[in-house]
Amino acid sequence: MTSRSDLKEASLRRILTAGASRLRAEGLSGAAIAPVMQDAGLTHGAFYAHFNNKDELAAAAFRFALLDNRPRWMGQARKESWPGRLLRLGKRYLAMAHRDDLADSCALAALASDAARSNPGFKKVYEEELRKSLRAICNSPDEGRPIDPARLDDAIAFMALCVGGISLARAVDDPVFSEQILTVCRQAIQRMATPDNESTSNVEVPDHGKG
Amino acid sequence: MTSRSDLKEASLRRILTAGASRLRAEGLSGAAIAPVMQDAGLTHGAFYAHFNNKDELAAAAFRFALLDNRPRWMGQARKESWPGRLLRLGKRYLAMAHRDDLADSCALAALASDAARSNPGFKKVYEEELRKSLRAICNSPDEGRPIDPARLDDAIAFMALCVGGISLARAVDDPVFSEQILTVCRQAIQRMATPDNESTSNVEVPDHGKG
DNA sequence: GTTCTCGTATGATGTTGATCATGCGAAAGC
DNA sequence: GCTTTCGCATGATCAACATCATACGAGAAC
C-alpha cells in the first residue's frame, strides 16, 4: 500500500514536527537527535537517512515551524486598517495562551537568543523566515514586489516589541508580573500603531490601581 | 602575602567574570564548567570549592553580569526629562557596538530565550535582575519605595523593545538588515517616549529613499 | 617547626549525545 | 520468484561534560 517513498515522506514530516516542537521548547542546543526521533516514532539511527547532521535538522525544523504557524496566525485576507491589523496580531501574540505554549509558539521569539549565538548558516535561515513574517504582517503576499517601506518599518518595530515582550513575559517567575509585561506591550503596540489621537475601539485602558 | 581567603575571593571573581562572559556568548547550556575555569586560570576540579553545581554558577554569573554592567549603563545621575532619558538609553542600547559585543552585553537580552526555557530558580533570578534594571531605568534608586507606575509601564515597554530589537538585529545575517532593525527600533522608542507632537532635538528622521 | 587547614590539581566515573557501520526485512524491479 | 533497493533498527565509537574522590602543597595556628 504505502510505498517506501511515501513512508519516508511521512517519517520526515513526523521528524520535522517533533523537531520543531523540541527546538522551540529546548533551544538550538537542547533539541537532541535521539529524543526527536523517539517523538517521531523512530530510532536515532534512522536520522541520517533524512539529514546529514544536526544543523540541517535545526534549519529544516525552524523553517517548518514557521511554515506551519504563519498561515494560522495571519488568517484569511480581511478588510482592516493597518493599525487595526497590528493591534489584532499583537493582541493574539502577546497573550497568555501563546506565552504558555512554548512548543507550538512563534519560533522567531523562542529562538531569538539562540539565533543570535548561532553560525551564519542558521542566521541566514532565521533572516529569511523573519523577512517572510514581516511580509506577511504587511499583507504583501507578492514575493516579487518590495514591501511598502513605511509599513515594513512599522512591522519591524512591531515584531521587536512582540519578541521582546513575550520573551520577558516567559523569563520571569511571577505570573502577575508576567501578565503586566504582556499588557504593557499590547498597550505600547496600540500607541505605536495609532499615529496620533485617533480613537480606536477596544482600546486597553492602563490601570495603575491597586485593586 | 595574599592570604588564602583573599586568594579564594580573587579566584571567585575571575570565575564569575569568565562565567558571565561565556554565559552571554554561549547561553545557559553552552557555558560549560571546564572552559569557564580555564578562562579563570584554574582547572575544572576547583569549581566545586566555589559552587555546588552548574546551576549555581549560572545564577551567580548572571547576577554578576548585570551587577557589573548596570552602573556603567546608567551613569551618574543627571538632569534629563523622562523621554530624554529613555531616548538616551535606547540609543546606546540599540547600537552596533552593543550588538556586536555579545560577551559583554546586556544579559537580559542575551539570555532572554534561555531564561524562558529555564527552571523556576533561574527565572526568579532573571526576574529580580529585570526588576532592578527597570528600577534603574526609572531612576528610582530607593529600593524600599515602589516605582511610579506610569514610568514603570514605560520602562517595561522600553525594555521589551530593546531586548526584542537587539535580539533580532543579532539573529539576522545581513548587516544592512541588522542595522535597519536597530534604527527602526530607536525611532520607535522616540515615538513611544514623546507622547504627542512634541519636537525633540536629535530626532532621527526615517529615510525610505533608495540612495 | 610541626601540624592543621584548605584552595587547587589530577584523575576517574557515569552520562549524554553526535555520528557511523552494519544488518534486517519489506517493497520494487525484472 | 529472485534479486535489488532502501528505510529503519541495533549497536558501537568518540567526544564533551558534570560530578566527585583523592592528593598535593603552601599558608595558618600553636
Residue of A nearest to B181 (CA): A156
Residue A70 lies in a domain: yes
Cα of first residue to Cα of last residue in chain B, in angstroms, is 64
Contacts of B191 in chain A (CB under 8 A): 191-192
Residue A108 lies in a domain: yes
H, E, C per residue of chain B: CCCHHHHHHHHHHHHHHHHHHHHHHHHHHHCCHHHHHHHCCCCHHHHHHCCCCHHHHHHHHHHHHHHHHHHHHHCCCCCCCHHHHHHHHHHHHCCHHHHHCHHHCCHHHHCHHHHHCCCHHHHHHHHHHHHHHHHHHCCCCCCCCCCCHHHHHHHHHHHHHHHHHHHHHHHCCCHHHHHHHHHHHHHHHHHHHCCCCCCCCCCCCCCCCCC
> Using the 8-state DSSP alphabet, how is residue A142 labeled?
-
E strand or H helix at A74: helix A54-74
How far apart, in Å, are the Cα atoms of A106 and each of A25, A93, A98, B28, B167?
Answer: 11, 8, 8, 21, 14
In the predicted structure, residue B29 carries a pLDDT above the cut 60 = yes
Q: Do B62 and B126 meet the contact criterion of CB atoms below 8 Å apart?
A: yes
- A 21-80 residues with CB < 8 A to B: 25-27, 29-30
In the predicted structure, residue B210 carries a pLDDT above the cut 70 = no
Among candidate residues A113, A167, A171, A25, the one with its CA nearest the CA of residue B25: A113
Q: Which CATH number belongs to the domain containing residue A125 in this structure? A: 1.10.357.10
Contact A27 B157 (CB under 8 A): no
What pLDDT is recorded for position A211?
41
Give nucleotides in strand D with any atom < 7 A to a protein C-beta.
6-12, 16-22, 27-28
Residue A150 structural domain: 62-193
Mean pLDDT calculated for residue range B156-178: 98
How far apart, in Å, are the Cα atoms of A110 and each of A5, A62, A160, A183, B164?
Answer: 33, 10, 13, 19, 11
Nearest to B168 among A25, A160, A192 (CB): A160
What pLDDT is recorded for position B154?
96
Q: Do A125 and A63 meet the contact criterion of CB atoms below 8 Å apart?
A: yes
Residue A35 lies in a domain: no
Residue A1 lies in a domain: no
What pLDDT is recorded for position B158?
98
Q: Which residue is nearest to nucleotide C19 (CA to C1')?
A: A53
Nearest to A164 among B30, B163, B180 (CB): B163
Residue B15 lies in a domain: no
Q: What confidence tens digit (pLDDT) does each residue in A36-46 have?
A: 999 999 999 99
| Strand C close to A54 by CB, under 7 A | yes
- Cα(B147)–Cα(A182) distance, rounded to whole angstroms? 18
Number of independent structural domains in chain B: 1
| Strand D close to B32 by CB, under 7 A | yes
Q: What confidence tens digit (pLDDT) does each residue in B101-130 have?
A: 999 999 999 999 999 999 999 999 999 999
How far apart, in Å, are the Cα atoms of A98 and each of A69, A154, A183, B78, B126?
Answer: 12, 22, 13, 40, 20
pLDDT confidence band for B9 (50 / 70 / 90): confident
Measure, in angstroms, how far nucleotide C21 C1' is from residue B5 CA. 54
Residue A174 lies in a domain: yes
Tens of pLDDT along chain A (211 residues)? 567 677 788 999 999 999 999 999 999 999 999 999 999 999 999 999 999 999 999 999 999 999 989 999 988 778 889 999 999 999 999 999 999 999 999 999 999 999 999 999 999 999 999 999 999 999 866 677 888 999 999 999 999 999 999 999 999 999 999 999 999 999 999 998 887 644 444 556 555 644 4
Residue B39 lies in a domain: no
| Strand C close to A49 by CB, under 7 A | no
Residue B110 lies in a domain: yes
What pLDDT is recorded for position A196?
63
Residue B94 identity (one-letter amino acid): L
